[in-house]
Structure 1
Amino acid sequence: MVKIVLLDGYELNDDLDWDKLRSVGDCTFYDRTNTANEKEIINRIDGAEIVITHKTPINDYVISQSKNLKYIGIMGTGYDVIDLESASKHNIEVTNVPTYASDAVAQFTFSLLLEVTGQVGLHNQLVHQDHWSQGPDFTFWDKPLYELKDKTLGLIGYGHIAQKVAKLAHAFEMNVVFYNHRPKKIKGNWLKQVSLDELLKTSDVISLHVIQTPQTINLINKTTLAKMKSTAILLNTSRGKLVNESDVADALNQDQLYALATDVVTKEPIQKNNPLLKAKNCYITPHIAWAPFETRERLLSITISNLQTYLSGSIVNSVIERKK
């Protein structure tokens, strides 16, 4: 029976049924693996042909020490935790789960935007703290509130998630523009493809939807921030390293950027010295855009399906093929 090791199942396993994975092979499950401890990772992989990982990195050294390893299944879309060049060199197949969370992340992107513009959380808290009951008027608001209609949303990247965000924005009667490093064919006169410079200069809301690569790390920095409106709202439900956090914190504190709403940060869990924690108008959630029950259930199902397909002699969702 094939030996399967799951390195970090905590984020999924509390309320999901893992029996289907157990039926595929001899499974060893770990809630968490120390991502900084190569020896622990190697010891846990030892003897396994199949490894399932979510965020635990598998680098060249780990791969070179894992002689039986034949397949790595990533429980997620991003594959920056795997050394793909090393995996290819050692004839190890690597798969991921694309688009499993597109609807959830698009929904959450708008949740962040609506929180910034509608301030529901703040005013709910103030009402429960008796600010309304003790006030003289039938209404009050403690921070500015904004309509989305006729505002311009700029999407950096135009993959599955961004396309769903675009449709939501259109429903709110926003103007929608996007920049993609490879031009896209588009339908609909409500959508416009523009250069990155034009997007930065004209957008009232900018939402990041690109993967983390050497080219996209620190995409938002002093230079790009200087091109943006000082009233702009920046949204990030992609990867924390797309944003230079010190530069964004400075821009927020100097009123050069109105707000940042992010579900991701450079180092997770967030560090106490992260400059965003003390920045003005900064909204941070703990990487939960992907986490609705239905989304995690779908993630597990596709992860298992990827593995079953591999064991049957075929391959789907290969990251190795995508990289070529």
Structure 2
Amino acid sequence: MLPRIVFLDRDSLPLTLLPLKAPHQWQEYANTSADEVAERLINADIAISNKVPLSAATIAACPNLKLIAVAATGYNQIDLAACKARGIRVCNIRDYALAGVPEHALMLMLALRRQLLAYRADVEAGQWQQAKSFCHFAVPIHDLAGSTLTLIGSGALGQAMAGLARALGMNVLFAERKHAETVRQGYVDFNEALSRADVLSLHCPLNEQTRNLIGAAELALMKKDAVLINTARGGLVDEVALLHALQTGQLGGAGLDVLITEPPKDGNALLDVSLPNLIITPHIAWAGQFTMQQLADQLIHNIDAFLVGSPRNVLI
């Protein structure tokens, strides 16, 4: 019997996939809701999911399942404990977005520190046209050169972000883990790193240790003109606390590519406001054509490797 492969959310990867080398059966769905997962995977040997959750109950209902190929780096939607108990392999995508995600984070940093939205709004409102001098001064502009970037996450993405920042003349700090008893060489105490940041950029996974990593207490440690960048996962930041900090002038700005609930079908308080120091993009830091193709190719390579008995990028 040929292995049956089911891609649960094919529309999440809108480009051409490489052909698999081994003979197989392929079934794909544009999107899959939570109550459709078990039925669609009932006879599947391999499941591909970008963001579709695979719970313990779903996994228990899929007796043939041998591999879950996550079409992303993040895997918090997969119940790893249930997979381990069943002997199901789980693999993910690694180090594919080393250009795209740092570029997107850099774009947000530049736009916020150099007040792109505020000055564009002023020009559209005719304020430059009415200026008495050749330029129009309003809100202060901050250079990235000479400023301090604090990074939370020192993996491949964090290191790539550090490289771009240093090329622009930024001073880069890596924050130690929150509540760590000792500070490793090359890192700075978590609270100190936040207090020194002109820009704080998040490049860490979402798990029980990092959920709400940045809340009211952490935002209070930061400079009033500092900006927060999150291209990682929405759950890392307390959105209510962030909105309050932006509206009260406790924080200089925020650039987000992720929210706690995606898509935000039921609304989100951050989307209900129009602030010149808040930029939200719809989880597209990874969506450059080159970056997405890197992901798509690696996804197929992961499945190919599993089918010949040499699984790679294995989580369990």
TM-score where L is the length of structure 2: 0.91
- Counterpart contact for 1:264–1:285, Cα < 8 Å: yes
1:189 alignment counterpart: none
1:268 alignment counterpart: 262
Q: Report the number of matched residues.
A: 310
Does residue 47 of the first structure (1) align with residue 25 of the second (2)?
no
1:150-176 deviation line (CA, Å, top 9, x unaligned): 211111121111111111111111111
Shift of 1:71: 0.8
2:288 alignment counterpart: 292
Does residue 95 of the first structure (1) align with residue 91 of the second (2)?
yes
1:17 alignment counterpart: 16
Partner SS, residue 76 of structure 1: coil
- Counterpart contact for 2:113–2:227, Cα < 8 Å: no
RMSD of aligned Cα (Å): 2.3
2:302 alignment counterpart: 306
1:118 alignment counterpart: 114
2:250 alignment counterpart: 256
Shift of 1:197: 1.2
CA 1:315–1:56 in structure 2 vs 1: closer, same or farther (change >3 Å)?
A: same
2:219 alignment counterpart: 225
2:4 alignment counterpart: 3
- Residue of 235, 238, 246 corresponding to 2:232: 238
Partner SS, residue 19 of structure 2: helix
Shift of 1:43: 1.1
Unaligned runs of 5+ in 1: 187-191
In 2, the alpha carbon distance for the partners of 1:71 and 1:260 equals 38
2:31 alignment counterpart: 32
Shift of 1:143: 3.9
- Counterpart contact for 2:100–2:285, Cα < 8 Å: yes
- Counterpart contact for 1:250–1:279, Cα < 8 Å: no
- Residue of 127, 148, 157 corresponding to 2:144: 148
1:243-302 deviation line (CA, Å, top 9, x unaligned): 000011111111111111111010111256422222742211100000001111111111
Which shifted more, 276-285 or 24-33? 276-285
In 2, the alpha carbon distance for the partners of 1:255 and 1:6 equals 45
Partner SS, residue 155 of structure 1: strand
In 2, the alpha carbon distance for the partners of 1:147 and 1:299 equals 33
Unaligned runs of 5+ in 2: none
In 1, the alpha carbon distance for the partners of 2:216 and 2:243 equals 10
CA 1:264–1:43 in structure 2 vs 1: closer, same or farther (change >3 Å)?
A: same
CA 1:279–1:178 in structure 2 vs 1: closer, same or farther (change >3 Å)?
A: farther
1:60-209 paired onto structure 2 within 5 Å = 60-120=56-116, 123=119, 127=123, 137-140=133-136, 143-181=139-177, 193-209=187-203
Q: Sequence identity, in percent?
A: 36
